[in-house]
Amino acid sequence: MNAAWGGKCGKTRIALNIGAGHMTTENIRRKKAFTVSFATKDTVVISDYFGVESGKNADKIAKSGVHVRKSAFVDASVIEEYPVTLECRLAELQELDGEARVVGEVVNMSADSTVLDENGKIDAGKLQPVSYDAVAKKYRLVGEIVGNAFSDGKALK
């Protein structure tokens, strides 16, 4: 799945906001599972395509030329071109005003070795994730470190 709006929701869950009438939402309702991959600088064109074309109108997998395999952990597909994928079991689905809030329990995370540091952790510099800028309607590269989480604010205590 490709989603512009989402984030961490507790220790082992993610929350996404997607259109209630989308084919993706229908698949999640039916399968009770989904995968989420992180758009990167290298995958921005296919990521944008997945967002602008409806699966109801086109075979997006064939058109984009990506390679898909079945997840070993949930009843959903993994797109091999994305270096990081979260494999999730549906925990909750709420609908309001034509939108669906999807909460998934992450049961596995797969990461290509090319985006890992020497300790086996994901290196954002190697991953080169992008974020959607809704004001400018652009994709922005996430990168520069500007502070230390849960540490820098202690200076004001």
Identify the band that residue 143 occupies on the pLDDT scale cut at 50, 70 and 90. confident
Instruction: Flag whether 34 is in a domain.
Output: yes
pLDDT tens column, 110-132 = 999 999 999 999 999 999 999 99
User: Taking CA 51 as the corner, what is the angle to CA 48 and CA 52, rounded to the nearest 5 degrees?
Assistant: 90
pTM here is 0.90
CATH of the domain at 150: 2.30.110.10
pLDDT at position 2 = 65
pLDDT tens column, 97-108 = 999 999 999 999
Containing structural domain, residue 51: 6-156
Residue 143: C-alpha distances to residues 40, 48, 74, 129, 139 (Å): 11, 20, 31, 8, 13
pLDDT tens column, 59-82 = 999 999 999 999 999 999 999 999
Instruction: Flag whether 112 is in a domain.
Output: yes
Identify the band that residue 10 occupies on the pLDDT scale cut at 50, 70 and 90. very high
Instruction: Flag whether 136 is in a domain.
Output: yes
pLDDT at position 4 = 72
Instruction: Flag whether 120 is in a domain.
Output: yes
Question: Rounded distance, CA 130 to CA 147, Å?
Answer: 19
Q: Tally the domains of the chain.
A: 1
Helix (H) or strand (E) segment spanning residue 102: strand 99-111
pLDDT at position 97 = 92
Instruction: Flag whether 49 is in a domain.
Output: yes
pLDDT tens column, 12-32 = 999 999 999 989 999 999 999
Instruction: Flag whether 125 is in a domain.
Output: yes
Instruction: Flag whether 1 is in a domain.
Output: no
Instruction: Flag whether 77 is in a domain.
Output: yes
